[in-house]
Chains A and B, each alone.
Chain A
Amino acid sequence: MKEKILVVDDEEGIRLLYKEELTDEGLDVHLAASGEEALAKLEKNKFDLIVLDIKMPGMDGIEVLRRVKEKWKNIPVILSTAYHHYKQEFGTWASDAYVVKSSDLKELKTTIKDILNTGRK
């Protein structure tokens, strides 16, 4: 069975890119354009992994991460953002991985695979 992942990003272009690239990797990719939409989808579906943007209008990624870890603490979350410096900031420690956005998705794909593989064991 395909692993189900949720991509949360406010940029349409990036959602589409993730959808295509990660589908090619054999994943069942679902999208959310905001934190609110992501939480709504989480209520209805069971996901194996979340890729979460930090900087979003409305509820930001850090807040989404906090709520996810409260309610679905077993779902791994990969934070993805344009900056390195969030890495050290308070609030990101709870995520399972941290990936800096780049047009080269290699790092993200490897991280997703690593986390899903550990989960299976």
Chain B
Amino acid sequence: MAHYLDFEKPLAEIEGKAEELRAMARGNEDMDIEDEAEALDRKAKDLLKDLYGKLTPWRKCLVARHPDRPHCQEYIDALFTEFTPLAGDRNFADDHAVVGGLARFNDQPVMVIGQEKGNDTKSRIKHNFGMARPEGYRKAVRLMEMAGRFGLPVVTLVDTPGAYPGLGAEERGQSEAIARSTEKCLEIGVPLVCVVIGEGGSGGAVAFAAGNRVAMLEHSVYSVITPEGCASILWKDAEKMRDAAEALRLTANDLYQLGVADRVIPEPLGGAHRDRAAAIKAVGSAIAGMLGELKGQSSEELIAARRKKFLEIGSRGLAA
């Protein structure tokens, strides 16, 4: 059963009707409904084009959070071989919100690290809905450090509502852990390429995304605060999230214009969840492209270029 977002209701009706027609016809050989069903399919496709052609920033947030959207582990399984997960921060625990380990990308050994949200109630709880605790960031630091030492490029997949706001997380130094992870991103002498595949939630995302190259899927978002949070602070009304999403400029295209994202990866019509294989393939070729751009650069060049990139961010605003 497909999961429809609120603004997709009209689409759900049309697709539901087509589905019903076909189900009826399966029980009755004489019925010829295919023409009618195909007409409905065309109508659905047109509507989909229409809806996704002009997604508002708030709707992009909803698509980025879509429960059926492919998540980190699915990308790893499809795009990497010999994935060997490595666990733990050697200090306190293993944080399942962060998945990472050695793997091969197009036969080249790399370190892949990402935030995993989970796909059903059980796995969502296991992965804490993609909200990492300090141990998750410290695991990432450990893996990046190791990759740096062995000269392996690092690929990160960013998809988190934000760092976990919890009692223990604060006690064990959530802020310090995030700061160290960002610091490590900027320190390693190997290529670091990052893809925002869903939600880039504030500091929790930055800690994984201070790389040489940052790509964003077309309908992913990356923001200083959730639109709901921003609305409740600045508008004093969490229901103003649509206005906040608009004002925050959190879409992939905005970030590309601002020089924060280096490339925008187009998504299949109707979002990554409607054609997972195509979305995953597009992310794969973006990773290959970005790693290719960085090939042959020395450690010093990679570090210097990464620093320059972040120091220069903000030197251009959005075109009015």
A and B form one complex: no
